[in-house]
Chain A
Amino acid sequence: MEQIAFASIAAFTLACALGVVLAKNTVNGAMCLLLCLAGVAGLFIQLHAYLLAFLLVLVYAGAVVALFLFIIMLLGAHGGQPWRFRAFQAFAGVVAAALLITGLDMISLRGKTDAGPPVAGAGVGSSLKLYADQLFTTYLLPVEVMGFLLLVAMLGVIVLSRRPTEGEATE
């Protein structure tokens, strides 16, 4: 039963990921990305990481894809820029993707990733209490650094998106 659920969610996620790459219309690509993220959130739920599934939907589907859609609309880039097929790039991409998958396949065939059945009991990603406990004890410094990073990113975006005023020299 769990196997069937995994297989169907995996197929759905991969199909949506391909949709992102192949969609002619950028808006359709963003929608495919949204569905793909929903599929990954489903896989997180199967892995008992309920909190992370919620965060993924909240941050990615809620904020990131919405931001993408805003920018696509703003730039008017959704007008079906036909994607030109380039033999060399497509060849390089397919070869690189195939190499990556084959390499990981070899590793798993040799049993290097074989960890046995999942550990019993809920993991840290399943409850907010366990998660927050880890975040604010063991990983306190990274949390502070992340806060600083978000502040810097916010300032950077404000500076980048500001229109140059009259007095400044325009490049």
Chain B
Amino acid sequence: MSPSLDSYVLLSAALFAIGFLGVLVRRNTLVIYMCLELMLVASTLALVAFSRFNGTEAGDVFVFFILTVAAAEVAVGLAIIVALFRARQTVQVDELDLLKK
């Protein structure tokens, strides 16, 4: 017996929730970014599962676009983090509080 669609969707929700938890709890910008990637991957898992169980191709194709956007996003985001580190010498979000002052 193969696992049902529900189990895949629940697993993807759990992965998404863990990523979300990481974004809220961690203070290091790089770790927050990795958790964002985790959330993207969780959504692709749900898309592939829906696509497989409903016999449509849209989900599978959409995953390709998510992968492309994620790659572009990581490149730009990490460049921003490096620029931020050059300006402030830190990647901890607690210490990036110029607007708070």
Contacts and interface: CB of A to CB of B under 8 A. Distances in A.
B9 A40 contact: no
Contacts of A119: 52-55
Contact of B71 (A49, A52, A59, A142): A59
Interface residues of B, number: 71
B79 to A, nearest CB: 4
A155 B6 CA distance: 42
Contact of B11 (A14, A93, A97): A14
A66 to B, nearest CB: 10
Contact of B16 (A18, A64, A100): A100
B54 to A, nearest CB: 6
Question: Interface residues of A toward B: which range?
Answer: 35 or more
A64 B87 CA distance: 24
Contact of B20 (A10, A83, A96, A114): A96
Q: Chain B at the A interface: mostly helix, strand, loop or mixed?
A: helix
B31 A29 contact: yes
Interface string B34-69: 110110010011001111111101001101110111
B27 A83 contact: yes
A81 interface: yes
A113 B52 CA distance: 13
Given A59-B71, A86-B25, A33 B52 contact: no
A149 B64 CA distance: 14
B52 to A, nearest CB: 5
A97 B57 contact: no
B43 to A, nearest CB: 11
Interface of B: 1-11, 13-28, 30-31, 33-35, 37-38, 41, 44-45, 48-55, 57, 60-61, 63-65, 67-76, 78-83, 85, 87, 91-92
Counting from the closest, the 4 A-B pairs by CB-CB distance are A119-B55, A97-B17, A93-B24, A125-B60
